[in-house]
């Protein structure tokens, strides 16, 4: 007790610490989903004629500049590609397949992907291209 008869409080006030922790938690909750949504960069060849976009109604096969394969934005090893596309065809038999091959990939690899997809039962194909800039 001090001179006036009041008891001295020796507890630590953790309210400011709690506020900081909650603000950091909110920041992490907002930024974490943004970190996991990365896109696969594919530089598509250009075409003079444009077609309508139907990305939500197709099975998408990407072949990046290094030759890596992606089925619906999930990387797949080349030796498991045919099995994976067969499973996709079983789930969605009428869905067309769009192949997005980087312009620097060998033509042979794209043909190989098309052959494996055809063996897996795919009957409708499309090759994705970019529309050239009007300025060029």
3-state helix, strand, coil in the chain (%, to 5): 40, 15, 45
Work out the mean pLDDT of the chain and round it to a whole number: 80
The answer to whether 116 touches 85, Cβ cutoff 8 Å, is: yes
* pLDDT at 54 > cutoff 50: no
Report how far residue 52's alpha carbon sits from residue 72's, in angstroms, rounded to the nearest whole number.
19
Q: Give me the pLDDT at residue 3, please.
A: 63
* pLDDT at 71 > cutoff 80: yes
Q: Cα Rg for the chain, rounded, in angstroms?
A: 27
**Structure tokens given for 96:** 């067309």
Mean pLDDT of the 32-51 span: 63
* pLDDT at 106 > cutoff 80: yes
**Structure tokens given for 111:** 């043909």
In sequence order, what are the beta bridge partners of 62? 70, 100
The answer to whether 84 touches 71, Cβ cutoff 8 Å, is: yes
């Amino acid at each position: 007790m001090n001179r006036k008869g009041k008891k001295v409080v020796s507890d630590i006030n953790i309210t400011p610490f709690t506020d900081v922790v909650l603000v950091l938690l909110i920041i992490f909750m907002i930024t974490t989903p943004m970190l996991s949504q990365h896109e696969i960069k594919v530089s598509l060849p250009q075409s003079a004629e444009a077609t309508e976009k139907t990305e939500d109604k197709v099975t998408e096969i990407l072949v990046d500049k290094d030759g890596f394969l992606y089925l619906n934005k999930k990387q797949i090893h080349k030796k498991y590609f045919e099995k994976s596309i067969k499973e996709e065809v079983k789930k969605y038999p009428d869905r067309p397949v769009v192949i997005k091959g980087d312009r620097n990939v060998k033509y042979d690899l794209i043909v190989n992907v098309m052959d494996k997809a055809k063996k897996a039962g795919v009957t409708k194909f499309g090759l994705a291209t970019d529309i050239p800039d009007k300025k060029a």
